[in-house]
Amino acid sequence: MARLKCKFCGKPAIERLKQYRLSLCENCFVSFYERQVERTLKRYKVVRKGERVLACVSGGKDSSAMLAALKKLSKNLDFSVEALHIDLGIKKDDYSKKSLEVAEKVCRMLDVELSIVDVSEYGVSIESFGRKKCAACGTVKRYVMNRFARENGFDCVSTGHSSDDIVAFFFRNWLSGNFDWSTKFLPRTEGFDKVVTRIRPLYFLSERENALYCVCSKIPFLSDSCPYSPDDEWKEIVYEIERRKPGFRRQFVTNLVKYLKENSEEKRGEFKYCKLCGEVTTSDVCAFCRLREKSGKRKKRDVP
């Protein structure tokens, strides 16, 4: 088979991007990827001028790509970016140690200031949770990201969620009849009260594109996944549909955001303040504090 040539410059291509019907070389892919992120930021007003963005980096491909692209675009679009890594204290397979090392390396390379929060400071231990460690860990991460961002004066929390994550999340929620998530899953979700604005700059990009961006721009990332993460069947289904219908994922999220913007009102039901930590919740005690109680650790960071 003849070697594919880059559509833009004619050099040997590294990948055929079926969903765009494009073959690109390393350099042209990097520019193409950054243009895609820039377009998302501008078209959906994801970041505003002068905002301080807290990029949450796990050490994995998606958040490493997110941080690198944000850093690259921050000057022209006039916002600033710093990073947060949450040390989950997972000893199995040295997972947290390896994640932290990669997050530090990425931030050093990109010259981004990195803060590290150890979840034990908040009185929890992921390994003390029972069977569904990963689900509990999600609650802990969201809590720490929000509280750290607010207490340190950031305007928004940025995560590396990809189009694969969004579509799988949609399927899972839609099929379980949970429609309460809708406005929470846009490229930007405005904050309120003690809740900081959330942004998802990689909303339209796939995991594959994020990994390729890291490889082409020599950004390190950890390819191990969390030793406790269960197989995500919905993700497998999304990959399979994409394989059979290239472009499905991108089209799906494009139409999803269009639909949500036109049809969903910002519904914010009643909320309360957690009687243990003071954060926003819908019950008397927030999900994080319930986990913390189960975790049975001493509380070092309590309500101010």
Interface with ligand FES by CB under 6 A: which residues? 88, 126, 133-134, 137, 226, 228-229
Task: Say whether residue 277 binds Zn ion (CB under 5 A).
Answer: yes
| Binding residue (CB under 5 A) for Zn ion from 53, 212, 289, 291 | 289
Nearest residue to 213 (alpha-carbon basis) of 82, 87, 67: 67
86 binds ligand AMP (CB under 6 A): yes
Q: Cβ atoms within 10 A of the Cβ of 77, count?
A: 16
- Closest contact distance (angstroms) between CB of 299 and ligand AMP is 21
Residue 276 as a binder of Zn ion (CB under 5 A): the answer is yes
Determine the size of the site formed for ligand AMP (CB under 6 A).
14
32: buried, middle or exposed (CB in 10 Å: 19+, 13-18, 0-12)? middle
- Picked from Zn ion, ligand AMP, ligand FES, none, the partner binding residue 168 (CB below 5 to 8 A depending on kind) is none
Nearest to 85 by CA among 222, 288, 265: 222
When asked if residue 296 is in the footprint of ligand AMP (CB under 6 A), the reply is no
For position 88 contacting Zn ion by CB under 5 A, the verdict is no
Nearest residue to ligand AMP, scored by beta-carbon proximity: 160
In terms of Cα–Cα distance, which of 132, 159, 134, 125 is closest to 145?
159
Q: Which does 62 bind (CB under 5 to 8 A by kind): ligand FES, ligand AMP, Zn ion, none?
A: ligand AMP
Q: Which x/- pattern, by CB under 6 A, does the window 220-259 give for ligand AMP?
A: ----------------------------------------
CB atoms inside a 10 Å sphere around CB 297: 15
Where does this chain touch Zn ion (CB under 5 A) — which range of 32-40, 130-138, 232-240, 278-286?
278-286
Q: Tell me: does residue 274 bind Zn ion (CB under 5 A).
A: yes
Which listed option, ligand FES, Zn ion, ligand AMP, none, makes contact with residue 133 (CB within 5 to 8 Å by class)? ligand FES
| Min CB(118)–ligand AMP separation in Å | 11
Task: Tell which one of 46, 56, 81, 253 touches ligand AMP (CB under 6 A).
Answer: 56
84 binds, among ligand FES, ligand AMP, Zn ion, none (CB under 5 to 8 A by kind): ligand AMP
Residue with tokens 């490889």: 215
